[in-house]
Amino acid sequence: MVSIVNGARIQRRVVWALMLRETKTLFGKHKLGYLWVLINASFQIGVFWGLREIAGMTAPHGLSTPIFLFGGFIPWLLFADTLTSCMNGISGNRALLSYPQVFPLDILVARTLLNAAVYCTTLGILLLIANLSGYNLSLHDPMSMLIVIILAPLLGFSVGLLCAAFNVMWPTTRLLVPMVVRILFFTSGIFFSVESAPLYVRNILFYNPISHLIELLRNAMSAGYESSFIYVPYVACFILVSLACGLLLERYTRQFLNDAT
């Protein structure tokens, strides 16, 4: 029991050290530092906000346009950036794996925790700015928002773990995954309400777990937005299955890395 506790303490310190290293790598090379994440998210939301205004499109269910877009972009960024970061985590840090205390899983956990912390902070700042600017914001279901904040990075981590293992064995993975992610970007309900889509569209998007999280966050941010599309148990099962498969492949990847060296 004592050895397990000591091992957990060592791995906790390893993950923390890796987070500090990733922080310096990601933000230390930019003069804007952490502000770059906020600027990037604001820019993306601002571009599509402007396009909707030019097209004369209004947000459904009484939501203001920026709040509607927040509900789409934040879960997406939590998922997609975590997936991409994890996918390149093992192949891009092989030198660190020469240390006996560092395992591939530690690198991916560190990247996931860092992304979650950065984007949750960004979400809080953007919502505060929107609220101070007079836009309609009603956090009538904080528990649903918490569920999204937990499940979105977990989804990115579980799928990213799978992609990281494939990326080590087949480097072509890093070229294929961005193509799939780009398709999901336009089909996950970031710019439209899945609840308002035709039935056949909802039936297809049901199998996309990020769509459920986007609808759940919008539901949490407005009392007038009620979506019957949301099914959280499916998202949880998707994460568990992806995580189980990813952990099995990660164990195989360790042998693959040892054989390669």
Predicted TM-score of the model (pTM) = 0.86
d(CA 199, CA 196): 9
Per-residue pLDDT at 136:
60
Residue 77 is encoded by which pair of tokens?
């960024």
Q: How many domains does the chain have?
A: 1
* H-assigned helices in the chain: 2-27, 35-55, 65-87, 104-132, 142-169, 173-187, 199-205, 209-221, 232-260
Q: How far is CA 156 from its chain centroid?
A: 5
Nearest of 179, 219, 213, 186 to residue 201 by alpha carbon: 186
d(CA 86, CA 33): 21
Per-residue pLDDT at 233:
93
Q: Average pLDDT for consecutive 10-residue bins of the chain (261 residues)?
A: 66 81 70 68 76 70 76 89 86 72 82 86 79 70 87 93 86 87 89 83 90 88 74 94 89 66 50
Domain extent, residue 43, equals: 2-260
The one-character DSSP state at 189 is: S
Residue 135 is encoded by which pair of tokens?
């836009």
CB 76 within 8 A of CB 214: yes
Rounded to 5 degrees, what are φ and ψ at 146? -65, -40
Per-residue pLDDT at 256:
64
Residue 195 is encoded by which pair of tokens?
């609840």
